[in-house]
Structure formats: C-alpha cells, structure tokens
Amino acid sequence: MTENTQKRLRLSRILAIIAILLFIFTYLGKPLLEYRDPVAMDESDEVEENLSFQPFSFLIPAGTESFAPSMGYLVPLMGEKIYDYHPKGVYAYLIGARTVPVWRVSLEAPQYPKASFPDGIPVFFHMTDFSGKVNEMNTINHYIGMDPMEAGAVFLRQIAPFVYLIFTILLVVYLFYNGPLWWLLGIIPALMPWYYLFFYSKWLYWFGHNMHDFGQFEVKPFMPTVFGDGKVAQFTTHSYPTVGFYLLLVYFLLLVFSVLIRRKAMKESTPQG
C-alpha cells in the first residue's frame, strides 16, 4: 500500500469521524440552539413548554400523568394516551428529548404586529418534537380546520432515537469494515437529511389534505409550502431549513466524500490482474 493510499484512507476516516460527531450533536444539541422569544415577559415565557415530545410508553416512568386526545378520531394517530412528560437530566438526552431544530415555519398576519411578534409565529420542527409558539400555531391551524401538529408523524418521532442509535453503530462499523458492500454502511446513514425532508413533505401533504369542518374559515385542501413563502387565508407563511438541517447537510457531504475517497484508495490498493 503506497503512502498516498494510506493518506487517503486516513482522510476518509477523519471525515467520517467528524460526520459522526456532527450527527450526535444534532441528537443532543437542542439546549444550545433552542428558540427563545425575543419579547418574552419573563424567563418562564421565554421558551414554551409543550406536549409534542411523546416517546414510546415503555420509556416513560410509571405514574406519569396522561390524558386522552382531545378528539376521538385522533386516537389512531396519537395513541390512547398523551403524556404530560418533560424528561430532565441525562435521561432526556438518552431518549431523544434534546434534538436540534431541523426546519422552521413561521406565520405572519395583521393581527400579529411586528412589535409583539418580531419573528411572526415561529415553530421549529425537531426529529422528535416541536418548539417555539406551538400552542399559538395549533390555534391558528384549528381556525382553518387543521389537526394539531402533535398528531403528525408520531411513530416516526418515537423511533427517531433508535434510528440515531442504529445509524451511529453503522458508522462506527464503517470506520473499520472493508468487506463486501462496505460503502452502504456510510451511504445509508448519510441520507438522513433526505429521509427527513421526504417524511416532512409527506406529512405536510397529509395535514393540508385532511381538513375538518370545525374550522371557522373554509379552506380547500392544499399542499402547505415545504420550502419558501406562501399564503393561506390571511396568513403569510415562511418555511425554510434551519440549523439542524444545515448540520445534516454537512454531515451528508462529509460521508459522501469519505466514501468516495476510500473507494479510490481501495481501488489503488487492489492488485491489478
């Protein structure tokens, strides 16, 4: 094996290790990147608590307070119980309550003046929950006959911690495995941002095409804006990736480069017949 080949293999491994660290940060870094209301009246109003984090019930301590979904038809989507559960300490990190925001949606309307709502009504979508003005956004959605955000992608949000665990294991194996199909160990986890974008778009479509007649405004089924600016009734919408998605894009590129560099190095080290 030549010195250049060894350098390429070393570079490939370094890129993969950086990618793994970035990936882990997107799972643990919420406290550093959490949205804080710029005009909050006090510290307790700065970050809104909400019930959007709902892990599998076996991860929730016995005796935790719970209640039924507000409407019966939500049970198949959300389960029979909604837990009033806000995990603390190390356990919160282990079960996925600290994932960074990946996508941001905000609404602007005349009834929400800039002085009081400088960021509009922002909501941040994480891998396992939401943050920002969740309750306010749900109220607005109710007016147009849309389900609460907590009804969406419940199972996907519940399995996110296990996906992170499996992908991290695959990437650690990728660092050392040189057998057949080794590159899949890097590429399958690398596609995480595109998995997220696919399911995010799918669930936006579901919300926009499952409208109910309890809304005060009649809105025809529509596809909410995935990327860019849009208009719904009197609301102007803005939907863009935020820090978590950009971190995942860097993670994706690092792994792709790692695989390509390693592939070239392994071709160089293979004897030509």
pLDDT digits (tens, 9 = 90+) for 123-135: 999 999 999 988 8
What is the reported pLDDT for 273? 46
Q: Of 162-166, 202-206, 218-222, give the lowest mean pLDDT range.
A: 218-222
Residue 37 in this model has a pLDDT that exceeds 90: no
pLDDT value of residue 25: 98
248: in domain? no
Alpha-carbon gap, residue 125 to 52, rounded angstroms: 10
pLDDT at 252 over 60: yes
Q: Is the pLDDT of residue 257 over 90?
A: yes
Higher pLDDT, 272 or 238: 238
pLDDT category at 248 given cuts 50, 70, 90 is very high
Alpha-carbon distance values, 195 to 19, 108, 188, 201 (Å): 17, 29, 10, 10
Distance CA 152, CA 171 (A): 29
Q: Report if residue 246 sits inside a domain.
A: no
What's the pLDDT at 44?
Answer: 67
> Quick one: pLDDT at residue 271?
62
Q: Is residue 247 part of a domain?
A: no
Q: Model confidence at 272, in pLDDT bands (50, 70, 90)? A: low
Query: What's the mean pLDDT when you consider all of the chain?
Result: 91
Contact 105, 237 (CB under 8 A): yes
Q: How far is CA 269 from CA 64, 87, 149, in A?
A: 58, 50, 52
Q: Which residues pair with 121 in a beta bridge?
A: 107
**214 lies in some domain:** yes
Cβ atoms of 101 and 16 within 8 Å: the answer is no
How many separate domains does the chain show? 1
List the domain range (segments joined by +) for residue 111: 3-239+253-269
| 77 contact partners, CB below 8 Å, separation of at least 6 | 69, 147, 151, 152, 154
113 belongs to a structural domain:
yes
Whole-prediction pTM value? Answer: 0.92
| Domain assignment present for 102 | yes
Mean pLDDT confidence for 168-180: 95
Higher confidence at residue 272 or residue 161?
161
| CA–CA dist 114, 93 (Å, integer) | 35
